[in-house]
Chains A and B, each alone.
Chain A
Amino acid sequence: MLHIVACIKQVPDTKIIKMNPKTNTMDRSSAPAILNPYDAHAVEEAVRLKNRYGGTVSVLTMGPPPAVKAIRKCIEIGADEGYMITDRAFAGADTLATSYALTKALEKIGKSRSIDLIICGKMTIDGDTGQVGPGIARRLDIPPLTSVKKVVEINKEKGYAIVHRKLEDGYEVVQSTLPCLFSVEKEINEVPYAPLPNMIRAARYQPHIWSVDDLEDVDRTLLGLKGSPTIVSKVWPPEKPKGGEMLTGTPKEQAERIISLLLERKELFRAKEELG
């Protein structure tokens, strides 16, 4: 029986986010909070592996209390248990402090049921770094496998996992010892609509909620803003491009203008002819 933990985060939907142009801060009320889309694939993959090999899927998040909603979303996908760590002390964490806090929570989860596999999303759409997953793996001293696009096999008895890692021009087949950590690509699976029983269970589900005091052996100086080596020193709006020349005339005249622009750069088209 496998115990898989997926790390998930609730994020503002940056697609429809609005910025306050005066302060260059995010207008949070404009952006609905959603489950980080990449993490949905992480949970889905955990659930598929559970269905294949048997076991339990837990999800873990660090975030403010409303993040319970993101956990419920994971229960809909098919997770069995949800854990949330929430505390003022975690606020302002960069990736190093985030991976520290999550590791402490994972250690606690692992005490009651040892963990075989941790799955993270490729990245969050707000933090947008992809650094937290490998960070957790290093802290737990287990192999990090990033860019995972297919899980070939998990063999708990023999203690290994085989996956495909995406490369720029193909993929590599990698074997790792268990436990280990995957960061998964979104192409690894498609997240289907949740079955009704899951939705009913999710609506009522209460996750385990821990504060710093519930975790063990925590060095508080490594948490939150204090434990974050990086700081944001300033933010500014990206430079607005100035815009180019708008062509006029009939469509035919406009097309001709473009063609003459292309022909000014003849050298670019030569290669094709030489190829035959």
Chain B
Amino acid sequence: MNLEDYKGVWVFIEQKDGKIARVSLELLGAGRKLADKRGVPLAGVLIGDRVKHLAQEVFAYGADLLYLYDDPIFHHYRTESYMRAVIDCCRKYKPEIFLYGATSTGKDLASAVATDLATGLTADTTMLDVDAETGLLEASRPAFGGNIMATILCKKDRPQMATVRPKVMKALEPVPGRSGQLIEEHLPLGEEDIRTKVLEIVRETQKKVRIDEADIIVAGGKGLGSKEGFQLIHQFADVLGASVGASRDAVEAGWIEHHHQVGQTGVTVTPKIYFAIGISGAIQHLVGMQNSGLIIAINKDPNAAIFQACHYGIVGDAFEIVPLLIEGFQAALAREVQYGGKV
């Protein structure tokens, strides 16, 4: 393999129902920095069915080029069809670096592609850098349950691939009208070449709060003591119009469903305000919320690790403090309304 043949930074543009996944825009932001440092173009790879109109958005967020595979066969994400498109593109245009969102789709696709291209893939990266001279990608990630950070290199193979956690990189401010080069590709691929079929897509009927999109999150942990105790979190969240988050131990106790779990094996969140109530602050929890705008912690134990990670901390019993907060906030709300101001 001649490493010199491989050039450019690529981002897999994940889309669903004609909408680009936020993480792909974040990766265009991160990719732009790598590309500029290395002095190479930034490209997106977009696969789907009638998705050409998304090209403009990809350019607005920083890409110079977009490789497009637009065909009905790509209507649903399927590993086998998407993988063939990505591999085809890599073999033709040889990228040096290729980033994917660490979503279920991104991870599924990247794992398959890396195997066929026989190259290195670093999972769940949270920091990226590149050596301007050599183009070596430095992909860093938490390891051993978050106890250490490790930097992973792929020295001899190309492309250097990584999946990157949502919410850790920053998207650029979009520049409307920014232009780029659209390269349309075609793959002779028929339905008979694909061994899987999507029979049906079922959206969960009860509307689930996407906590990763919430402005305010009230999260509770094992310290709430019981499922009944955990209701306090729901009450407080209701009053604030917030979403409910939880530690893994609260989820494992069966007090709340898994999609509320914040942290390494849950969701990464960056709300403007994050309440951590009765949560000890284990590293696996912290990695999922430490970039929140304002972190307020309430815990009985003055030595709890969460106090190292918060902006404001209250040492106290949740069952005493939270009712005071609920009451006080409701009173403040009423006051504002009375004086005609909006809260």
Interface residues on B, range: 35 or more
Name which residue of chain A comes closest to B21, CB basis.
Answer: A168
Q: Could you tell me the distance in whole angstroms from the C-beta of A177 to the nearest C-beta in chain B?
A: 4
Contact A271 B241 (CB under 8 A): yes
Contact B200 A172 (CB under 8 A): yes
Q: A139-B115, A187-B258, A271-B241 are in contact. Are A230 and B195 (CB under 8 A)?
A: no
Contacts of A265 in B (CB 8 A): 272-273, 294
Decide yes or no whether A223 CB sits under 8 A from chain B.
no
Name B's A-contacting residues (CB within 8 A): 76, 79-80, 103-104, 107-108, 110-112, 114-116, 118-124, 138, 142-157, 195-204, 208, 210, 215-216, 240-241, 258, 272-273, 283, 286-287, 290, 294-296, 307-316, 320-321, 324-325, 328-329, 332-333, 342-343
Do most interface residues of chain B lie in helix, strand or loop, or is the interface mixed? Answer: mixed
Contact A241 B199 (CB under 8 A): no
Contact B146 A238 (CB under 8 A): yes
Contact A17 B145 (CB under 8 A): yes
Q: A131-B114, A145-B196, A265-B273 are in contact. Are A241 and B328 (CB under 8 A)?
A: no
Contact B104 A147 (CB under 8 A): yes
Contact A134 B144 (CB under 8 A): no
Contact B316 A254 (CB under 8 A): yes
Q: Which 7 A-B pairs have the closest CB atoms?
A: A14-B145, A229-B120, A272-B241, A129-B123, A134-B111, A255-B324, A230-B120
Q: A169-B203, A244-B295 are in contact. Are A266 and B342 (CB under 8 A)?
A: yes
Contact B307 A243 (CB under 8 A): yes
Contact B290 A241 (CB under 8 A): yes
Subset of 7 A-B contacts with CB under 8 Å? A169-B210, A172-B198, A175-B196, A229-B154, A232-B152, A235-B149, A235-B150
Q: Given A94, A130, A147, A187, which contacts B120 in the complex, CB threshold below 8 Å?
A: A94
Contact A167 B104 (CB under 8 A): yes
Name which residue of chain B comes closest to A227, CB basis.
Answer: B118
Count A-B pairs with CB separation below 8 Å: 245
Contacts of A15 in B (CB 8 A): 145
The interface bits of chain A over 252-271 (1 if a CB of B lies within 8 angstroms of the residue's CB, else 0) are 10111111011101101111
Name which residue of chain A comes closest to B111, CB basis.
Answer: A134
Name A's B-contacting residues (CB within 8 A): 12, 14-15, 17, 19, 24, 26, 94-96, 99, 125-126, 128-131, 133-135, 137-139, 143-147, 162, 164, 166-177, 180, 187, 228-238, 240-247, 251-252, 254-259, 261-263, 265-266, 268-273
Do most interface residues of chain A lie in helix, strand or loop, or is the interface mixed? Answer: mixed
Q: Given B157, B204, B290, which contacts A170 in the complex, CB threshold below 8 Å?
A: B204
Contact B283 A238 (CB under 8 A): yes
Q: Could you tell me the distance in whole angstroms from the C-beta of B147 to the nearest C-beta in chain A?
A: 5
Contact A126 B144 (CB under 8 A): yes
Contact B312 A244 (CB under 8 A): yes
Q: Could you tell me the distance in whole angstroms from the C-beta of A21 to the nearest C-beta in chain B?
A: 10
Contact A147 B202 (CB under 8 A): no
Q: Could you tell me the distance in whole angstroms from the C-beta of A178 to the nearest C-beta in chain B?
A: 10
Contacts of A272 in B (CB 8 A): 241
Contacts of A244 in B (CB 8 A): 295, 307, 310-313
Contact A143 B307 (CB under 8 A): no
Contact B107 A146 (CB under 8 A): yes
Contact B202 A269 (CB under 8 A): no
Contact B155 A231 (CB under 8 A): yes
Contact B103 A258 (CB under 8 A): no
Contacts of B195 in A (CB 8 A): 143, 176-177, 180
Contacts of A95 in B (CB 8 A): 111, 114, 121, 123
Contact B324 A251 (CB under 8 A): yes
Contact B111 A172 (CB under 8 A): no
Contacts of A273 in B (CB 8 A): 342-343
Q: Given B197, B294, B309, which contacts A243 in the complex, CB threshold below 8 Å?
A: B309
